[in-house]
C-alpha cells in the first residue's frame, strides 16, 4: 500500500478552533452596551448571536454573503430578544464588527508560528477576508493566504469551500489538512479526501461545554496548536 | 475642500515592481536547460516569455485562467523560437514554475516590513495565489492577504481586479493605494479612484531599460520600497 502523500498545507477553522469568539464577543458587546445602561448576560448574548448566524450559514441551500452582513442581520434579530431597542447605525456597525476584534486562545500565536515554519497555513473559515485580516493582525498570525468562504463564494460545509482552498494552492486534497474543533467541519473535509486534525477546545461554549474528543476517526487529535505542532513534527 | 481619506491599504504589483522577474527567470531557465546542453541568451528568453504572456493577459477580452496555465502555453510557444525541441512534461512543469522562484529586488523585504507595520499590504497581481504564496515565503514577505486576479477571476488591467481588492477589505478605492513600476497599472487603478504610488525600477527590462519616472501625475513617486515607506510615514 502506498504511503499517503505528505501534508503540505494546513487549513484552519477559526471561530472556536483558533479564536475564543464567545469570551471576546461577550466582552466587546458589554463594552458597547454596558455604558448605554444595558444589563444582561453577555455570554448568553454571544451564544444567541452565534447560534442564530450559524443556523443560516449551515443550511444546505444558504446563499453566500460576507459573514459581516450575515452577522448584522442576526444581530438585529436578537437585540429585541434581549430587550434592547433601537440603536443608531454607527452603534450597530461597531457592535457588528466585534467579530473583527476576537482574541485567540492563548496557545495559538506561538503554535501557529511553529506550524507555519513547516506548512503553508491559511484560514478556511466562513469569515470574510477583511475579518480574517483584522483578527490576524490583532493576534499576530502570519498566514500565507486567506482562503475560505469569500474566495469560494459559499459557506462551509459546502464542498466547494474546501476544494477551492486546495485548488488555490495547486494541492490535492490529500496534501491538505483541515484543522478544527468541530467534527462537522472535519467530516465534510474528510469526505473530500482532505486530512483531518482535531483540536480539543473544551471550553468553547462555556466551562466544559466544548465539543468532546471525537469518537469518529481523524488523522490527528491535539490538545492545542502547540500539541498539533509536536504531532506534525513542526 | 475636504481632505482625501487616509490610505489604509497598499496593493502591490509584483512582477517588476517587487520581483526581479527578468534576472530570476533567466537564472532559473539556465539552471534547467543549461545542463541539457542548450546555449542561448537566457535574458532574451526571459524577455520573450514575459512579452508573449503579457500580450495575452493584457488583451481587453482576455479570459481568466491561472497565470501558471497562461505561462505554460506561452512557454511552449517560444521554446521552438529558441531552437529547443521536445522536453518532457516534468521538465516543462519545472521550467514553468520558475515564476514561483523569483527573487525580490534587494530593497523589498525590509521596505515591505516597514510598510506592513502601518498599512494592510497585499499583492494585486496577475499571479495566481499559489505563485504569490511561494514568492512570499521565499522572500519573507508578510502579506495580510493575497488579492488580485485569482480572487477577481480576471486579469489586470480590468477594473474588477482593483475593485474586488478594495471590496475584500471593505475599503473605498480612495483608501487604497496601488503601487507599481508601470504607469499602465497605475492609470487603470487611478481611473477607479485608487491612490497611486510609482516605484522607479530603472533596470527592470535590462540596464537602464526600466520605465522612466512618470510624466503623468501620481500621488507618490519613490525610488524603492524604503523610500516609499519614508514618504508614507511608515
pLDDT single digits (tens) B113-129: 999 999 999 999 999 99
Is the pLDDT at B4 greater than 80? The verdict is no
Mean pLDDT, residues A86-114 taken together: 97
B84–chain A nearest CA distance, Å: 28
Using the predicted structure, report yes or no on whether residue B109 has a pLDDT greater than 70: yes
In this prediction the pTM is 0.97
Q: Is the peptide bond before B201 cis (omega within 30 degrees of 0)?
A: no
Residue A122: pLDDT over 60: yes
Measured between beta carbons, which residues in chain A are less than 8 angstroms from residue B170? 68, 130
pLDDT at A215: 83
SS3 A72: helix
Q: Across the interface, which of B128, B151, B169 has its CB nearest the CB of A133?
A: B169
Question: In this complex, do B150 and A168 lie within 8 Å of one another by their Cβ atoms?
Answer: yes
User: What is the reported pLDDT for A216?
Assistant: 84
pLDDT over 90 (residue B85)? no
pLDDT at A1 over 70: no
Tell me the mean pLDDT in the region A200-223: 93
> Mean pLDDT, to the nearest integer, of A169-196?
98
In this complex, do B169 and A129 lie within 8 Å of one another by their Cβ atoms? yes
pLDDT of A210 strictly over 70: yes
- Kindly state the average pLDDT of the residues B27-36: 96
pLDDT of residue A2: 65
Using an 8 Å CB-CB cutoff, list chain B residues near A68: 170
> What is the pLDDT averaged over residues B69-92?
95
* Chain B environment of A170 (Cβ under 8 Å): 68, 130
Contact list, B116 vs chain A (CB under 8 Å) = none
pLDDT band at B159 (very low <50, low <70, confident <90, very high): very high
Nearest to A130 among B130, B151, B169 (CB): B169
Average pLDDT over residues A73-77: 97
State how far the Cα of B150 lies from the Cα of B146, in Å rounded to an integer.
9
How high is the pLDDT of residue B86? 85
Closest approach of B41 to chain A, Cα-based (Å): 31
Please give the average per-residue pLDDT across B160-188, as a whole number: 98
What's the gap in Å between the CA of A37 and the closest CA on chain B? 31
- Retrieve residue A107's grid coordinates: 496557545
How high is the pLDDT of residue A119? 98
Element containing residue B30 per DSSP (H, E): helix B21-33
Q: Pull the grid cell for residue A189.
A: 473535509
Residue A85 has pLDDT above 80, yes or no: yes
Question: Please, which pLDDT band fits residue B1 given cuts at 50, 70 and 90?
Answer: low
Q: How far is CA A51 from CA A74, A200, A213, in A?
A: 9, 20, 21
What pLDDT digit, counting tens, does each position of A38-68 carry? 999 999 999 999 999 999 999 988 999 999 9
DSSP H helical segments within B36-178, as ranges?
Answer: 42-57, 67-78, 89-96, 108-118, 129-139, 149-152, 159-168
- With CA atoms as reference, the chain A residue closest to B137 would be A144
Would the CB atoms of B133 and A144 count as touching at under 8 Å?
yes
Q: Which of A112, A116, A119, A133 to mutate to test the interface with B (most CBs of B within 10 A)?
A: A133
Of B120, B133, B145, the CB nearest to A169: B133
Give the sheet arrangement for strand B220-222, strand by strand: B147-148, B120-125, B9-12, B176-180, B195-199, B220-222
Return the pLDDT at B2: 65
Amino acid at each position: 500500500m502506498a504511503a499517503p502523500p505528505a501534508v503540505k498545507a494546513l487549513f484552519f477553522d477559526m471561530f472556536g478552533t483558533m479564536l475564543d469568539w464567545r469570551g471576546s464577543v461577550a466582552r466587546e458587546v458589554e463594552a458597547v452596551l454596558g455604558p448605554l445602561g444595558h444589563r444582561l448576560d453577555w455570554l448568553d448574548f454571544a451564544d444567541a448571536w452565534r447560534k442564530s448566524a450559524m443556523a443560516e450559514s449551515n443550511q444546505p441551500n444558504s446563499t453566500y454573503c460576507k459573514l459581516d452582513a450575515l452577522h448584522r442581520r442576526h444581530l438585529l434579530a436578537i437585540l429585541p430578544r434581549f430587550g434592547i431597542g433601537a440603536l443608531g447605525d454607527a452603534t450597530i456597525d461597531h457592535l457588528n464588527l466585534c467579530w473583527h476584534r476576537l482574541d485567540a486562545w492563548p496557545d495559538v500565536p506561538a503554535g501557529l508560528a511553529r506550524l507555519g515554519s513547516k506548512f503553508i497555513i491559511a484560514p478556511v473559515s466562513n469569515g470574510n477576508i477583511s475579518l480574517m485580516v483584522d483578527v490576524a493582525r490583532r493576534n499576530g498570525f502570519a498566514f500565507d493566504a486567506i482562503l475560505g468562504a469569500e474566495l469560494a463564494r459559499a459557506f462551509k460545509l459546502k464542498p466547494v469551500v474546501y476544494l477551492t482552498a486546495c485548488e488555490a494552492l495547486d494541492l490535492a486534497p490529500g496534501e491538505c489538512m483541515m484543522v478544527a474543533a468541530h467534527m462537522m467541519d472535519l467530516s465534510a473535509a474528510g469526505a473530500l479526501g482532505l486530512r483531518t486534525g482535531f483540536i480539543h477546545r473544551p471550553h468553547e461554549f462555556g466551562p466544559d461545554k466544548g465539543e468532546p474528543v471525537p469518537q469518529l476517526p481523524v488523522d490527528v487529535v491535539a490538545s492545542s496548536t502547540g500539541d498539533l505542532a509536536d504531532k506534525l513534527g513542526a
